[in-house]
């Protein structure tokens, strides 16, 4: 279990570092995410807002897209950090994208706000009825 705790701490640290690059001129709400792939790689992302709000992308989806663009197809863990005081779990859109790369739902999802302890769940717990075509 110590190995898993270390991996979670490392992912949270990578997400925290990625949060510094967030582009959030409209909400001023900064988010960073880090994913651990089945191949052992860590890919990070931050939220990127847009004047046309619907075109913004969440940190979680950006980190997943980076992993996919680098050839990864399995995400085993995801960490997300925000600068808000309360922890914020991934939104529904992010959860559905996460399900695409963790069909079993075993992905570990960790989220933390600026204060307090990290929350930990499996994707299956966060999205018990994910939409699937295969």
CATH number, span 2-126: 3.40.140.10
> Are 41 and 76 within 8 A, CB to CB?
no
Selection from 92, 66, 73, 80 nearest residue 118 by Cα:
80
| Cα 64 to Cα 52: distance, rounded to the nearest angstrom | 22
pLDDT digits 0-9 by tens, 56-72 = 999 999 999 999 999 99
User: Tell me: the pLDDT tens digits for 98-110?
Assistant: 999 999 999 999 9
Q: What span, in angstroms and rounded, lies between the C-alpha atoms of 59 and 48?
A: 7
pLDDT at 3 over 80: no
Is 72 a catalytic site residue?
no
User: Domains of the chain: which residue ranges?
Assistant: 2-126
Given the residues 60, 70, 74, 85, the one annotated as active site: 60
- Report the predicted TM-score, pTM, of the whole model to 2 decimal places: 0.94
How many other β-carbons are positioned within 10 Å of the β-carbon of residue 52? 7
What mean pLDDT is predicted for residues 18-45?
A: 98
């Amino acid at each position: 279990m110590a190995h898993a705790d270390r991996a979670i701490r490392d992912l949270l640290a990578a997400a925290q570092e990625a949060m510094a690059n967030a582009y959030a001129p409209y909400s001023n709400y900064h988010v960073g995410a880090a994913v651990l792939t089945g191949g052992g790689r860590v890919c990070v992302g931050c939220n990127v807002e847009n004047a046309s709000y619907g075109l913004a992308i969440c940190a979680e989806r950006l980190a997943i897209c980076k992993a996919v663009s680098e050839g990864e197809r399995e995400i085993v863990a995801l960490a997300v950090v925000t600068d808000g005081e309360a922890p914020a779990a991934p939104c529904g859109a992010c959860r559905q994208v996460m399900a695409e790369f963790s069909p079993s739902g075993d992905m570990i999802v960790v989220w933390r706000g600026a204060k307090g302890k990290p929350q930990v769940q499996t994707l299956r717990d966060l999205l018990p009825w994910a939409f699937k075509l295969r």
